[in-house]
């Protein structure tokens, strides 16, 4: 093995990610086990958190504020938005502290540094899968006991694409932030607060049809908006879906991911000296 210094921003060595794939799955297992090892309810928190949040949204935004849900049952409407949003938030929050949270590991042994943020994205899939199963259980309950029909359509086949877009967007923004926090630590304090604010600029608790004019344009500038709208449309049959909006999300996501990987690649060779 010949170890050489990186000569340029584009010297990515992405083939190393495949060579170290066993390490990727070890990190995924570590993240899952360490997160719930000494808890009472363990992985049940994956179910409790979205259920309690959905109930709060029903009380505040449906009963009190009376914000419409495009005719969909409020519980299904809010939960369908939370499933996608929680996955994005998990990817972003975990990835944004990659360097600072794992400095002790990075300083001891070599491995492709990009493995660490990738493991965060993969481990967050576990929570997404559990919450998606909960959503489908509620769909069956509403159909059997409340006679609310399913609205599955051909767009459901695009769910893997939507999931990939959310993962790539969270990864891209996360590694940009993690690269900056090596020098500016206070940026990490803004991530959690900023993520909460971003949720209100995303159609999680209200439909896109609730907005008109310049406000709708502002909402569509958020690349997560078309993804959540299409996800709802594929399952509930409600939402303002347009292929142009989805194309914008794809282009924005690819650009954010490319910029993030390049910055990450540039920073990783010297971040230990900064930290």
> What is the pLDDT at residue 164?
94
Instruction: Point out the least confidently predicted range of 52-56, 127-131, 190-194.
Output: 190-194
> What is the pLDDT at residue 5?
62
> What is the pLDDT at residue 94?
86
Contact of 252 with 105, CB cutoff 8 Å:
no
> What is the pLDDT at residue 169?
93
Q: What's the pTM? A: 0.87
> What is the pLDDT at residue 215?
86
> What is the pLDDT at residue 8?
59
pLDDT averaged over every residue in the chain: 83
Residue 42 has pLDDT above 80, yes or no: no
Contact of 201 with 223, CB cutoff 8 Å:
no
- Take residue 38 and report the two structure tokens written for it: 């000494």
pLDDT, one tens digit per residue, over 242-266 is 889 999 999 999 999 999 888 887 7
Between the CA of residue 177 and those of 30, 82, 189, 245, what are the distances in Å? 23, 23, 11, 26
Per-residue DSSP letters for 93-104? HHHTTHHHHTHH
> What is the pLDDT at residue 88?
94
Confidence band for 151, pLDDT divided at 50, 70 and 90: low
Find tokens 């570590």 and name the residue: 30
């Amino acid at each position: 093995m010949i170890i050489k210094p990186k000569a340029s921003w584009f010297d990515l060595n992405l083939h190393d990610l495949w060579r170290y794939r066993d390490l990727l799955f070890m990190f995924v297992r570590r993240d899952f086990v360490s997160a719930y090892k000494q808890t009472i309810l363990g992985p049940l928190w994956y179910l409790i958190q979205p259920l309690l949040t959905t109930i709060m949204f029903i009380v505040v935004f449906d009963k009190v504020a009376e914000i419409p849900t495009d005719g969909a049952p409020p519980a299904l409407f809010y939960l369908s938005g939370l499933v996608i949003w929680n996955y994005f938030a998990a990817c972003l929050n975990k990835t944004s502290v990659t360097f600072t949270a794992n400095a002790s590991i990075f300083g001891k042994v070599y491995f492709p540094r990009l493995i660490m943020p990738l493991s965060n994205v993969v481990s967050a899939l576990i929570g997404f899968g559990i919450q998606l199963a909960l959503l489908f259980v509620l769909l069956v309950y509403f159909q059997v006991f409340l006679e609310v029909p399913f609205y599955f359509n051909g767009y459901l086949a695009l769910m893997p694409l939507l999931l990939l877009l959310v993962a790539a967007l969270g990864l891209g923004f996360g590694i940009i932030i993690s690269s900056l926090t090596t020098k500016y630590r206070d940026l990490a304090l803004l991530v959690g607060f900023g993520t909460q604010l971003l949720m209100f600029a995303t159609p999680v608790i209200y439909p896109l049809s609730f907005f008109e004019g310049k406000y709708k344009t502002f909402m569509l500038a958020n690349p997560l908006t078309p993804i959540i709208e299409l996800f709802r449309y594929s399952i509930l049959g409600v939402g303002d879906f347009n292929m142009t909006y989805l194309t914008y999300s794809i282009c924005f996501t690819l650009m954010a991911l490319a910029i993030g990987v390049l910055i990450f690649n540039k920073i990783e060779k010297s971040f230990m000296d900064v930290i």
